[in-house]
Amino acid sequence: MATARGLFVSFEGGEGAGKSTQIRLLAEALRAAGHTVVTTREPGGSPGAEALRHVLLSGAAEAFGVRMEALLFAAARADHLDCVIRPALARGEVVLCDRFVDSSRVYQGVTGNIEPPLMAALERVSIGGTMPDVTLVLDLPAEVGLQRARRRAGEEAEGASPDRFEKEKLEVHEKRRQGFLDIAAREPERCRVVDASLDKGRIARDILSEVQLVIARLARLGHDGGQAARP
Ligand code: TYD
């Protein structure tokens, strides 16, 4: 077990930043240390949210505009939290989530140009205060990430076409990179920026030590009278 209140870790970054590899390596390391780990992803992670994932990534919702997409991402997130994330945290488990609310802030808020009050309202209803204990921002120049993502798509499934969000131009990806870095600068308590161009073993070691520090901090807070209680 991580702590009595569980541990919520999200991974963020652009396409091809290596989030899934790092989630797998962190899950292995934490399980080897005796933790119960749930790995999950957004959009998706619960049956209801996976249905919305299909609608969103196929591009079926695109015709209805970015506001509709933002609402669907928020709905998927609310279901994912209710059905998977909060129950796992209540059992004291570690949740590793591939993308979370920062992806909405960046993809829908920054590059989708959705007005901040709507983004804030969606965030309030979808997450209701359940924020990650730590968010690892895997940072990479957009061009390198896109090349990696394209190579992966070509290798993994012949004829695989990029999803609706991968198709967008390089400058949009650069804006998103900056969007994640801006969030990390605004919320240094929660966010850690990781240089995703380094060797993957090195990245994995850095991430594990960051997460261990957070586990130790939460355990200390827990012993100091439960200040670490979740909303
Ligand atoms: P996915 O195939 O999971 O991509 P990746 O490997 O890059 O994580 O596709 C998820 C896509 O959905 C990705 O392009 C980012 C986008 N997205 C949003 O636009 N808003 C969100 O809130 C989330 C969670 C994802």
> What CATH number is given to the structural domain containing 75?
3.40.50.300
Cβ neighbours, 10 Å, residue 130: 17
Looking at the structure of the chain, the number of domains it has is: 1
Burial of 188 (0-12, 13-18, 19+ CB in 10 A): exposed
Query: Is the Cβ atom of 180 under 6 angstroms away from ligand 1?
Result: no
CA of 42 to the centre of ligand 1 (A): 7
Query: Is the Cβ atom of 73 under 6 angstroms away from ligand 1?
Result: yes
Residue 230 lies in a domain: no
Residues 6+ apart with CB under 8 A from 80: 40, 42, 44, 45, 46, 49
Residue 231 lies in a domain: no
Residue 157 lies in a domain: yes
Q: Please list the pLDDT of the chain residue by residue as tens digits (231 residues).
A: 446 789 999 999 988 899 999 999 999 999 999 999 999 999 999 999 999 999 999 999 999 999 999 999 999 999 999 999 999 999 999 999 999 999 999 999 999 999 999 999 999 999 999 999 999 999 999 889 888 888 877 766 555 666 766 666 788 999 999 999 999 999 999 999 999 999 999 999 999 999 999 999 998 887 554 445 566
Residue 30 lies in a domain: yes
Residue-level pLDDT at 145: 87
Burial of 86 (0-12, 13-18, 19+ CB in 10 A): middle
Residue-level pLDDT at 225: 46
Residue-level pLDDT at 157: 55
Residue-level pLDDT at 222: 76
Residue-level pLDDT at 221: 84
Residue 2 lies in a domain: no
Nearest to 31 by CA among 123, 94, 73, 101: 94
Residue-level pLDDT at 227: 46
Asked if the bond preceding 43 is cis, omega within 30° of 0, the reply is yes
Residue 51 lies in a domain: yes
Residue of 105, 107, 167, 175 best suited for mutating to test ligand 1, as the one with most atoms within 8 Å of CB: 107
Residue-level pLDDT at 135: 98
Residue 34 lies in a domain: yes
CA of 99 to the centre of ligand 1 (A): 7
Find the domain containing 155 and state its range. Answer: 7-223
Write the CA distances from 148 to 87, 144, 161, integer angstroms. 35, 6, 14
Residue 229 lies in a domain: no
